[in-house]
Amino acid sequence: MTKRRVEPILWLLFSAGGVLAAVFLPVLVVLFGLAFPLGWVTPPSHDHLHAVLGHPLTALFLFGLFALCLAHWAHRFRYTLYDGLQLKGSKGLITVLCYGGAVLGSVVSAVVLATVV
Amino acid sequence: MSETEVQPRAYRRPVSTWWWLEKRSYFVFAMRELSSVFVAWFVVFLLMLTYAVGRGDDQYQSFLDWAATPWVVVLNLVTLVFVVLHMVTWFNLTPQATVVRLRGQRVPAWAIIASQYVGLAVVSAFVIWLVTR
């Protein structure tokens, strides 16, 4: 596939991940990153959280959320590296590392989420 | 590069690596792009949480203890700042990227931005209800 045909698909994934990250991450960071570990709010019991995460719909949704957020990261970080830090020389390597990282992360997500379902 | 062979060689002013510190708007742009790194970090964090929950109550409790250690708390505080920056900048850009029409009238930018905050509130309330009920 030529670059021109791939770019809109990458942009679409970036964009979908951007929307999901904007809508879902703030509440998740507040709850799981701060409120539960620091005891501002009583953390959910293991049984309850296991039941929520183990529901196939939750797992499927989280897989989509994780994979698209990683695609969002890959696309944005790729441009951060070569426009921001002027690393135009290693374009190919950066592209492979970013999108490769997102694909690898999505596979890991599927495996980890499958352990709870 | 093949481009330089067909185009006359024009002088291009070299751009400093630190160009994004030259202006406030450049800095905000660079921080917005950097927010993606924190988005990725939090996916990793949630994966570690999921893995711990899958391995049992003991692992889940020790994950919560680890998440309460100072460096993880600081990292997640910084993550929150960047995630909020991503949210605000993303919502503000949406009306420029999409044109919504209702009965032939173009929906004004403020209405698109406001509806996203309504969506955010609904989603946040649902997540809180689902996790803490």
Mean local confidence (pLDDT), B109-115: 93
Domains of chain B: 3-97 (1.20.1300.10), 98-133 (no CATH)
Among all residues of chain B, which has the CA nearest to that of A75? B36
Mutate to test the interface with B, among A60, A69, A76 (most CBs of B within 10 A): A76
* Three-point CA angle B84, B30, A29, nearest 5°: 25
> Per-residue pLDDT tens for A9-66?
999 999 999 999 999 999 999 999 999 999 999 999 999 999 999 999 999 999 999 9
CATH code at A3-116: 1.20.1300.10
DSSP annotation of B106 reads: E
What value of ipTM does the predicted structure carry? 0.93
Taking contacts as CB-CB distances below 8 angstroms, the residues of chain B near A38 are 68, 73
The alpha-carbon gap from B96 to the nearest alpha carbon of chain A, in Å, equals 13
How many CB atoms are closer than 10 A to CB B104?
Answer: 5
> Per-residue pLDDT tens for B60-69?
999 999 999 9
The alpha-carbon gap from A30 to the nearest alpha carbon of chain B, in Å, equals 7
| Structural domain boundaries in chain A | 3-116
CA nearest B100: which of B88, B84, B114? B114
Work out the mean pLDDT of chain A and round it to a whole number.
92
User: b/e per residue, B17-40, with b = 16+ CB within 10 A?
Assistant: eeebeeeeeeeebbebbbbbebbb
